[in-house]
């Protein structure tokens, strides 16, 4: 059995190696450790060994963890970041925005409208408000009923995000559609990112790659890796 520290180190080494092979700087890649289904103690252990970015996919689980960490005073709030990576119901937006620095799962018009509504109000009322970073989640399947923006609709959707002064558009996010298909999926995500950057030059980030495919994602320009089990172990 390997320890958490060993797995964290090993994943970091693999990221560096994959970056070297792709002639990229590891500084341009952020490792988000997805801590869902694990107790807050795991987040504290990860902080101890140098992790600074954490991913969660359910508000009911994420918010108590975030509040615990904040109250524990274990480290300054400015030392770490929460990334919300799961499907976000509109009625949870207010809650998620109390702790999330980034939302990776902006996947539909109704969620965008709710985010704009809530952040616009916060901007007026909260003294130290800072706009949350958002990633537009892409739907890489042929089924429009699945969550996510169809790649061909990226431009009008991005325009609507950019029109909101209370959101910071970071880039695109995707989950590979099928096991074994990541290579072409991630290349497609890269192309959509290029298209987005012609519209929004600052929106360079690509959130792609999980435990099974992060090295492939790095080859295709991923800047934010969302890695769970390879580091946290199964649960």
Ligand X SMILES: *Cc1c(COP(=O)(O)O)cnc(C)c1O
* 207 neighbors 226 (Cβ within 8 angstroms): yes
Instruction: Say how many residues make up the chain.
Output: 235
* Residue written as token pair 């341009």: 28
Using the minimum distance from each CB to ligand X, give the nearer residue, 116 or 230.
230
- Range in contact with ligand X (rule: CB under 6 A) among 62-70, 90-98, 160-168, 227-235: 227-235
Among 65, 69, 83, 86, the residue binding ligand X under the rule CB under 6 A is 86
DSSP-based helix, strand, coil % in the chain, nearest 5? 45, 15, 35
Q: Which stretch binds ligand X (CB under 6 A): 90-98, 145-153, 183-191, 210-218?
A: 210-218
Which segment (22-30, 90-98, 154-162, 225-233) binds ligand X by CB under 6 A?
225-233
- The full DSSP string for 172-190 is EE---SSTT-HHHHHHHHH
Quick check: 228 binds ligand X (CB under 6 A)?
Answer: yes
Does 123 interact with ligand X (rule: CB under 6 A)?
A: no
Taking CB atoms, the residue at the shortest distance from ligand X is 228
Bridge partners (DSSP) listed for residue 33: 54, 227
Is residue 227 near ligand X by the rule CB under 6 A? yes
195, with CB counted inside 10 A (0-12, 13-18, 19+), is middle
Single out the segment in contact with ligand X by CB under 6 A; choices: 1-9, 45-53, 90-98, 220-228: 220-228
> Residue 33 class from Cβ within 10 Å (0-12 exposed, 13-18 middle, 19+ buried)?
buried
Query: Which of 85, 111, 174, 192 forms a contact with ligand X (CB under 6 A)?
Result: 85
DSSP state of 132: P
Asked if residue 24 binds ligand X (CB under 6 A), the reply is no
34 part of the interface to ligand X, by CB under 6 A: yes
DSSP, collapsed to helix, strand or coil, labels residue 67 as helix
Q: Given candidates 35, 57, 119, 223, which one binds ligand X under the rule CB under 6 A?
A: 57
Q: Under the criterion CB under 6 A, does residue 209 sit at the interface with ligand X?
A: no
Where along the sequence are the contacts to ligand X (CB under 6 A)? 34, 36, 57, 85-86, 175, 210-212, 226-230
């Amino acid at each position: 059995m390997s320890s958490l520290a060993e797995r964290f180190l090993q994943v970091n080494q693999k990221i560096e190696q994959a970056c070297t092979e792709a002639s990229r700087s590891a500084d341009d890649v952020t490792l988000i450790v997805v801590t869902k289904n694990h107790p807050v103690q795991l987040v504290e252990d990860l902080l101890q060994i140098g992790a600074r970015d954490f991913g969660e996919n359910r508000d009911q689980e994420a918010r108590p963890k975030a509040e615990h960490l904040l109250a524990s005073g274990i480290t300054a709030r400015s030392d770490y970041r929460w990334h919300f990576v799961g499907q976000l119901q509109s009625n949870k937006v207010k809650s998620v925005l109390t702790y999330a620095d980034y939302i990776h799962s902006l996947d539909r018009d109704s969620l965008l409208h709710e985010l704009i509504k809530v952040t616009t109000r916060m901007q007026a009322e909260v003294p130290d408000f800072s706009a949350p970073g958002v990633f537009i989640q892409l739907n890489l399947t042929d089924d429009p009923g699945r969550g996510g923006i169809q790649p061909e609709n990226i431009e009008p959707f991005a325009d609507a995000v950019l029109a909101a002064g209370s959101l910071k558009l970071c880039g695109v996010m995707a989950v590979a559609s099928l096991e074994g298909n990541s290579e072409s999926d991630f290349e497609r995500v890269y192309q959509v990112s290029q298209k987005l950057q012609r519209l929004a030059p600052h929106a360079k980030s690509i959130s792609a790659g999980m435990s099974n495919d992060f090295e492939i994602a790095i080859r295709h320009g991923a800047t934010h890796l969302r890695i769970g089990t390879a580091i946290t172990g199964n649960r």
